[in-house]
Amino acid sequence: MTGATMDKPHLTRAHARELLHQMQRIRSFEEKCAELYTQEKIRGFLHLYIGQEAVAVGVMQALEPRDGIVATYREHGHALARGLDMGRVMAEMYGKQEGSSRGRGGSMHIFDAAGRFYGGNAIVGGGLPIAVGLGLAERMRASGAVCVAFFGEGAAAEGEFHESLNLAALWRLPVLFVCENNLYAMGTALRLSESEPEIWRKAASYRIAAEAVNGMDVVAVEAAARRAVHSLREGEGPFFIECRTYRFRAHSMFDAQLYRQKAEVEEWKKRCPIRMFGDWAIAAGLLHPDEIEAIGHEVEAEVAAAVRFAEAGTWEPVADLRRDVMTPGEAS
Amino acid sequence: MSEPGQQPTNGTATYRDAVRAGIRDALIRDPRCFLMGEDVGRYGGCYAVSKGLLDEFGPERIRDTPLSESGFVGAGIGAALGGMRPIVEVMTVNFSLLCLDQILNNAATIRHMSGGQFSIPVVIRMASGAGRQLAAQHSHSLEVWYAHIPGIRVLAPATLEDAQGMLWTAIVDPDPVVIFENVMLYNMTGSLPVEVRPVDIGRAAIRRSGTDLSIVTYGGSLWKCLAAAEALAEAGIDAEVIDLRTLRPLDDETIMASVRRTRRALLVDEGWRSGSLAAEIMARIVEQCFWSLDAPLARVCSEEVPIPYPKHLEDAALPQVPAIVEAARRTMGAK
């Protein structure tokens, strides 16, 4: 919500198309996942990101391939926005060995060494110390790379959140903390769990540069992330962005959503990041409605191909059950 | 090598010196290596293990941390993922419960749940064991909890040579290694090898050969078992003493070969009796050597009580030489 002065997103037509395209990829992928879940193709927990797409897509614009990323169990969007192949992500949802984690992780544990994508962490707050350590490694090597930790506002109640913020600030590590405040920690509303509901203020108390942005506005998120990453690369220490956002779907597929009003959900849906940005881009003359339609077709085809890839995938033989516990050649 | 508890004298090194030498060697040999933990720098380490290292290597590589076990152990795991070779010191095993989440849910698991894409070459050292009257929040032996976890290696060096050599072996291991240093060993004296050699951590060591029964143990209890074996020898019982050295994975081969020879086994473990490492090894002996046994298996473990403060009660709670001797004699059918 501060004015962008540095490293502003440069909104060319191509960039506007890219932002919309990436958000739509996540949305369509996940809508398909929900459908596949009801068909029992995808099992276990499935946490949809729908509604929050602007956060992952906006932040990723500011990153380079050398930067590391730690995400949560609601990470399909981050993985796709980071550039992981959609087919491999879908195969992971199926548990097939062609999946991004060879099927061993599933929906909550998408990893990718090439993309420096360090999961997929399903312990709330558990990824934050890892991000601090990745930042420490970059600092000690003076690599110039940064690390981004994505987490929900629920993590702010965990001790690991506070330990991580303190360490990162104390050691001035190049870590970008991105809090996706969607107002509910599973089913517990922010007002019931935090004495200080303005999460960014907690970071500020650790002397970390911190701000809150409209997480439904992909351009605002990108602008904040670019400012933050610029500051990190300048060696200014960690940065904290609270993205105010909303999850349109249930926490997981088992959630009857007894804890929030339908009217509230409908109200937030009016701020859908994809529709808002699309409408704005048309009004601004950056995109033509035909282009938006074309993006829709393109994404539909990509999702269909991803499903075909996952369907054609294979099950890992049970004989391999104990592999990947220890590094090959080492006894387990 | 002398008995534990003996004061260091000129010309000899302590177990503490051996650990320090191992850390120092790792820092010299590998620039990716660094030490972090509570009070490892300016204070010199809670048990004085890292004394002097800050002056030699500086605050970047001898890194004092706040009291944030989960934060700095997790940071060690992250730094390992990021290409470093961290040695993380946790003051005692009781404090390690604050970072068990990081060790189990991340260090032990990320390799598997990423489909083998990431290895985590982190070394986590911690003190364990009782005997210093530190009462019920600083004295426990929870090695078995860690030995339960697939995805990590668990070491318990009981000698100076192992304390020094295992450090380097752990550093070059691509997977997470947890090292337990028994607090009663830090003052134990002996001589250090001139040249640091990596030690084979895959094998248990027979510290005393014998023919009548196998006493299987690790860590601080090793020296009690060796003392018991001497007492037993006077009574005409020739005990073999096996130092497990590595608690995960267990070296079944060495244990079973010994038990098949002696046909009797006694397990000595400073952990609580229920669900102890001793219990696991007994189960393995029954699975693999049942028909070789001439007597019921026996064990001496800690009493099922939080470790008490008064010396006489602390002593009574732990495996002690007389109890080991007594259990061995019962196993031999002798009174």
Catalytic-residue membership of B69 = yes
Confidence of residue A197 (pLDDT cuts 50, 70, 90): very high
Q: Are residues B167 and B225 in the same domain?
A: no
Q: Are residues B242 and B178 in the same domain?
A: no
- In chain B, residues with a C-beta closer than 8 Å to the C-beta of A44 are none
Amino acid at A6: M
Cα–Cα distance for residue pair B64/B53, rounded to 1 Å: 12
- Put simply, the answer to whether B74 touches A332 (Cβ < 8 Å) is no
The CATH number assigned to the domain holding B236 equals: 3.40.50.920
pLDDT at A330: 57
pLDDT at A10: 83
Q: What is the CB neighbour count within 10 angstroms for residue B230?
A: 13
- Interval A239-255 mean pLDDT: 93
- Put simply, the answer to whether A119 touches B110 (Cβ < 8 Å) is yes
Q: Is A77 on the interface with B (CB under 8 A)?
A: no
> Domain range holding B235?
205-331
pLDDT at A9: 78
Residue B173 has pLDDT above 80, yes or no: yes
Question: Could you give the angle at which helices A218-233 and A53-60 cross, rounded to 10 degrees?
Answer: 40
pLDDT at A188: 93
Q: Percent of chain B scored above 70 by pLDDT?
A: 95
Determine which one of B138, B240, B270, B314 is catalytic.
B138
A314 CB-near residues (< 8 Å, 6+ apart): A96, A97, A98
Find tokens 């998408």 and name the residue: A110
Within a domain: B315:
yes
Residue A215 has pLDDT above 50, yes or no: yes
Question: Among A105, A126, A331, whose Cβ lies nearest the Cβ of B113?
Answer: A105
Question: What is the total count of domains within chain B?
Answer: 2
Question: Among B66, B106, B115, whose Cβ lies nearest the Cβ of A130?
Answer: B106
The answer to whether B215 and B225 have CB atoms below 8 angstroms apart is: yes
Q: Are residues B216 and B181 in the same domain?
A: no
Determine which one of B3, B38, B60, B69 is catalytic.
B69
Per residue in A143-194, pLDDT (tens digit) is 999 999 999 999 999 999 999 999 999 999 999 999 999 999 999 999 999 9
pLDDT at B193: 72
pLDDT at B13: 94
Residue B92 has pLDDT above 70, yes or no: yes
Per residue in B216-265, pLDDT (tens digit) is 999 999 999 999 999 999 999 999 999 999 999 999 999 999 999 999 99
- Put simply, the answer to whether B74 touches A113 (Cβ < 8 Å) is no
- Residue of B106, B111, B152, B246 to mutate, testing the A interface (most A Cβ within 10 Å of its Cβ): B106
Per residue in B68-87, pLDDT (tens digit) is 999 999 999 999 999 999 99
Give one DSSP letter per residue of B32-73, joined into a string: TEEEEETTSSSS--TTSTTTTHHHHH-TTTEEE--S-HHHHH
Within a domain: B199:
no
Q: Are residues B181 and B283 in the same domain?
A: no
pLDDT at B198: 73
Q: Are residues B183 and B216 in the same domain?
A: no
- Interval A218-232 mean pLDDT: 97
pLDDT at B196: 67
- In chain B, residues with a C-beta closer than 8 Å to the C-beta of A103 are 115
- Interval A257-283 mean pLDDT: 95
Q: Are residues B267 and B298 in the same domain?
A: yes
**B158: closest CA among B178, B184, B138?**
B184
Of all helices (H) and strands (E), which one includes residue B287?
helix B277-289
Q: Are residues B171 and B23 in the same domain?
A: yes
Q: Are residues B285 and B164 in the same domain?
A: no
Catalytic-residue membership of B89 = no
Cα–Cα distance for residue pair A113/B117, rounded to 1 Å: 6
Q: Are residues B270 and B127 in the same domain?
A: no
- In chain B, residues with a C-beta closer than 8 Å to the C-beta of A109 are 113-114
Q: Are residues B127 and B243 in the same domain?
A: no
Q: Is A174 on the interface with B (CB under 8 A)?
A: no
- In chain B, residues with a C-beta closer than 8 Å to the C-beta of A112 are 117
Confidence of residue B317 (pLDDT cuts 50, 70, 90): very high
Q: Are residues B213 and B238 in the same domain?
A: yes
Per residue in A8-25, pLDDT (tens digit) is 678 999 999 999 999 999
Residue A6 has pLDDT above 80, yes or no: no
Q: Are residues B54 and B120 in the same domain?
A: yes
- In chain A, residues with a C-beta closer than 8 Å to the C-beta of B57 are none
- Residue of B33, B35, B105, B110 to mutate, testing the A interface (most A Cβ within 10 Å of its Cβ): B110
Cα–Cα distance for residue pair A252/A239, rounded to 1 Å: 30
Q: How far is B2 from chain A (nearest CA, A)?
A: 33
Of all helices (H) and strands (E), which one includes residue B74?
helix B69-81
Domain boundary, last residue among B133, B166, B190: B190
CATH of span A13-187+194-309? 3.40.50.970
Confidence of residue B6 (pLDDT cuts 50, 70, 90): very low
Of all helices (H) and strands (E), which one includes residue B240?
strand B239-243
Cα–Cα distance for residue pair B131/A251, rounded to 1 Å: 50
Domain boundary, last residue among B190, B217, B235: B190
Within a domain: B234:
yes
Per residue in A55-107, pLDDT (tens digit) is 999 999 999 999 999 999 999 999 999 999 999 999 999 999 999 999 999 99
Residue A296 has pLDDT above 70, yes or no: yes
Per residue in B264-292, pLDDT (tens digit) is 999 999 999 999 999 999 999 999 999 99
Q: What ipTM was reported for this prediction?
A: 0.94
Query: 3-class SS at B210?
Result: coil
Q: What is the CB neighbour count within 10 angstroms for residue A316?
A: 18
- Residue of A117, A163, A323, A330 to mutate, testing the B interface (most B Cβ within 10 Å of its Cβ): A163
Cα–Cα distance for residue pair A306/B195, rounded to 1 Å: 57
